[in-house]
Amino acid sequence: MLEVWGRKTSSNVQALMWCIGELGLKYVRHDAGGIYGGTDSDDFLAMNPNGTIPVLRDPNLGPLWETGAICRYLATRYGSDSFWPGDVVARADVDRWAEWAKLNVAMAFTVPVFWRVVRTPMAQRDQKTIQSAVDALEQKLAIADTALATRSFIVGDELTLADIQFGHILFRYYDIGIRRADLPNVQAYYKRLAERPAFREHVMLSYNELKVD
């Protein structure tokens, strides 16, 4: 059985847990980070000297940190060929979209947009800065919108590891109070993800504990 350390409201933990859910793996998750603390303890730092979440422990492996690395490990060890191809060329295509999503979408949303909207007091929110960040994010989302015009998921017609890295931010993107561009293919894609049990269980979660009034 897998062990995961990380609070369920962390977007990185959500990506990992969604991956675990799609792979149908058994797990135990321990709350850590944020209001739960624990990441500065000696025991935690022995697993991850960075003091960040998530951390994974697999009976076949010592503690592993960094979300992308954990997901690639799980996909390689437990995933199907459609989820994480064995063919090096097909895998590279999935991997480039996964890296693109992490660097150009998730990182452009979580701190520049989500934190400024949800985790900043109303009186301190700079709406012009927020909208500029949304506009920059949506330039990248437009790339996905073009790709999704011809396929069901970000790489093809089956869910892959790239969708985990890309799709996990969309619940919050569509839920928070911002002005959004018209991206019909991304919106249809999000609706398809929202029909998946693992996405609903691990991603479509309340983030009330993160809100600052």
The verdict on 176 and 121 lying in the same domain is yes
Looking at 78, 107, 124, the residue that finishes a domain is 78
Question: pLDDT tens-digit profile of 138-163?
Answer: 999 999 999 999 999 999 999 999 99
> What CATH number does the domain containing 148 carry?
1.20.1050.10
Which of the listed residues 78, 97, 121 is the one where a domain comes to its end? Answer: 78
* pLDDT band for position 108 (cuts 50, 70, 90): very high
Full DSSP string of 162-173: HHHHHHTTHHHH
Average pLDDT over residues 119-123: 92
- On whether both 59 and 155 belong to a single domain, the answer is no
Both 118 and 190 in one domain: the answer is: yes
pLDDT at residue number 60: 81
Assess whether 65 and 95 both reside in one domain.
no
65 lies in the same domain as 93: no
11-23 and 67-78 helices, crossing angle to 10°: 0
Query: 67 with 116, same domain?
Result: no
Q: Is 3 exposed, middle or buried (0-12, 13-18, 19+ CB in 10 A)?
A: middle
Q: Does the pLDDT value for residue 187 go beyond 90?
A: yes
What average pLDDT does the segment 2-19 reach? 98
pLDDT in the model for residue 64: 97
Asked, for residue 204, whether it belongs to a domain, the answer is no
* Structural domain boundaries enclosing 147: 88-199
Q: Is residue 12 over pLDDT 90?
A: yes
Count of domains observed in the chain: 2
pLDDT digit string, tens, across residues 43-90:
999 999 999 999 999 988 889 999 999 999 999 999 999 999 999 999
Rounded CA-CA distance 204/199 in Å is 7
b/e 133-161 (16+ beta carbons within 10 angstroms → b) = bbeebbebbeebbebbeeeebbbbeebbb
φ/ψ of 52, rounded to 5, equals -115, 160
